[in-house]
Amino acid sequence: MEQNDNSKKIEKKINLCNKIKLLKVDHRIIGKKLNLYHFQNESPGMVFWHNDGYIIFRELQKFLRLKLNKYDYLEVKTPFITNISIWEKTGHWKIYKEAIFTTYSENRNYCIKPMNCPGHIQIFQQGLKSYKDLPLRIAEFGICHRNEPSGSLHGLMRLRNFTQDDAHIFCTKNQVIKEIENCINMMYEIYNIFGFKKFIVKLSTRPLHKIGNDKLWDQTENNLSFILKKLNIKFQYQIGEGAFYGPKIEFSFFDCLNREWQCGTIQLDFTLPKCLNLFYINKHNKHSTPIIIHRAILGSLERFIGIIIEEFSGYLPIWLAPIQIIILNISKKHIQYVLKIFKIIQKNDIRVKYDIKNQKISFKIRKYTIQHIPYILICGDKEINNETISIRNSFGKDLGFMKIHDIINKIKKEINNFYFKKRD
């Protein structure tokens, strides 16, 4: 009995510590403090991105585009609003209609897209496809809307309007294993950049409400488990948690509070292509049905930004930081030197600002350290006389004096290498 009481006390203490820690890293509080975004009751579950927050969003997209190019994806853009008939054909309307926003115009019912696959299928169907065109990798930063219950909405983590880093790979049966391996390699590459190395991988099997026969589901589930075993990836089964059109691999990682976040998904789909009569011309000049691999790496970009803001307590890697350098003067006589340094840095495509207000240097240093700006440059008499700059990082560490070209080279290298050092 006493042991149980002690266990409960320990559990209570851990929960209290986590709550206190969460208050310090809550992305909603940090977002407001750093002027990144806000939320309003007039648009529940939707983000108002401010300039600095939207820089983070765009830089994340830019980074992902480099990976899309590396893995030979074609980026597309599909309509937000499509006729309800498309969603009825794919089966989404029957399964998800409660979560789909609709609109009405000229005696027609339309859906505001909750996902991107039907749009990518429409693109595949434009023009005759040959086996030589496959694999066809179609990617989109797709803006989706889902009518999530109001009680489940939570900052950037659970939204009604969000952006998916979505892709659909149309391929032959012989290409499936290689394509899924490429998806997994791409995921690990991206997660490692942010320091996420502790994963849980789950294989979600057929749900109660599904399309396609059991034989087809057996085949697809066996294919995915074979690939994971081949790559020596430990995984656990999630019975009945697959999509209605196929099983999926889910990648989850743990944050600083040991909370689990599911981000990446890979879904193997043999059924939708058959239902929609998709085909390509095979090497025997006959019709064959392609297979679709649905994949997302970060899932929702907004949610991932929320995760990394909390994980790193607002100290973003320099390549994501809205302002990468702030230049400060000690007194009025140093203003011209600040402006000279500012122009040199700005020409090197570095996001830089200056503050030449008549305020104490200690006040300004503290102000911009609190704003988590990666580098603070200070200009005074010593710096002007030696043609150097005093440099401090966002953690308050004094890095000494450096020449301007050395600072530029250091920072450009960190930006180009997607460098990130986590706070100790």
Residue 164 designated active-site: yes
Q: What is the pLDDT of residue 14?
A: 52
Residue 67 designated active-site: no
Q: How far is CA 163 from the centre of its chain?
A: 9
Which residues, other chains included, contact 45 with Cβ-Cβ below 8 Å and sequence gap of 6+? 148, 150, 153, 158, 159, 160, 161
Q: What is the pLDDT of residue 95?
A: 85
Nearest to 131 by CA among 294, 290, 270: 290
Tell whether omega for the bond before 247 is within 30 degrees of 0, i.e. cis. no
92, 145, 158, 168: the catalytic one is: 168
Residue 334 designated active-site: no
Residue 117 designated active-site: yes
Question: 53-311 is classed in which CATH architecture?
Answer: 2-Layer Sandwich (3.30)
Each residue of 176-223: pLDDT tens digit? 999 999 999 999 999 999 988 778 999 999 988 887 788 888 888 998
Each residue of 128-145: pLDDT tens digit? 999 999 999 999 999 999
113, 145, 146, 364: the catalytic one is: 146
Q: What is the pLDDT of residue 16?
A: 55
CATH number for the segment(s) 325-416: 3.40.50.800
| Residue 243 DSSP code | B
Question: Which pair of structure tokens corresponds to residue 306?
Answer: 């929320």
Is beta strand 375-379 parallel, antiparallel or unpaired with respect to 325-329?
parallel
pTM above 0.85, yes or no: yes
117, 171, 183, 263: the catalytic one is: 117
Q: What is the pLDDT of residue 223?
A: 87
Residue 166 designated active-site: yes
Residue 294 designated active-site: yes
| Fold match between domain 53-311 and domain 325-416 | no
Neighbours of 109 (CB within 10 A): 14
Low-confidence ranges of the chain (pLDDT < 70): 1-21, 421-424
Q: What is the pLDDT of residue 15?
A: 57
164, 267, 324, 371: the catalytic one is: 164
145, 248, 334, 372: the catalytic one is: 248
Q: What is the pLDDT of residue 8?
A: 52
Domain extents in the chain:
53-311, 325-416
